[in-house]
Amino acid sequence: MANKGSKTKKKNKAYNRMGMLCIILTVFVLLLIMMRQSEDLTSMIRQYDERVATLERRIEEEHDRTGEIEKLRTYMETDAYIEQIAREKLGLVKDNEIVFEEEG
């Protein structure tokens, strides 16, 4: 009978070793999967950071452009702008000015 108990203990030890091996293998596979996902996430974060930088740069350019448009709008409300357009587009002159034209 002592033999039977000894065989059972050996079987149990073999099952325990097999179970531990399966657990270790499963943990290793899960670790590899997590490492791969971590690399993918790092890559995605890098891409998003580049996209954020690009968008921030574009926002800054648009702010600059908005400032230039505002300056132009303010200038267009002045008498100097109206006089400039009257001279350039309409060919108007002041009463005391002499206009010289090229022959051509």
In the chain, where the domains are located: 2-90
Three-state DSSP state, 72: helix
Amino acid at 13: K
Amino acid at 29: V
Amino acid at 19: G
Per-residue model confidence as pLDDT tens digits over 4-58: 667 777 778 878 889 999 999 999 999 999 999 999 999 999 999 999 999 999 9
Put simply, whether the predicted model's pTM sits higher than 0.85 gets the answer: no
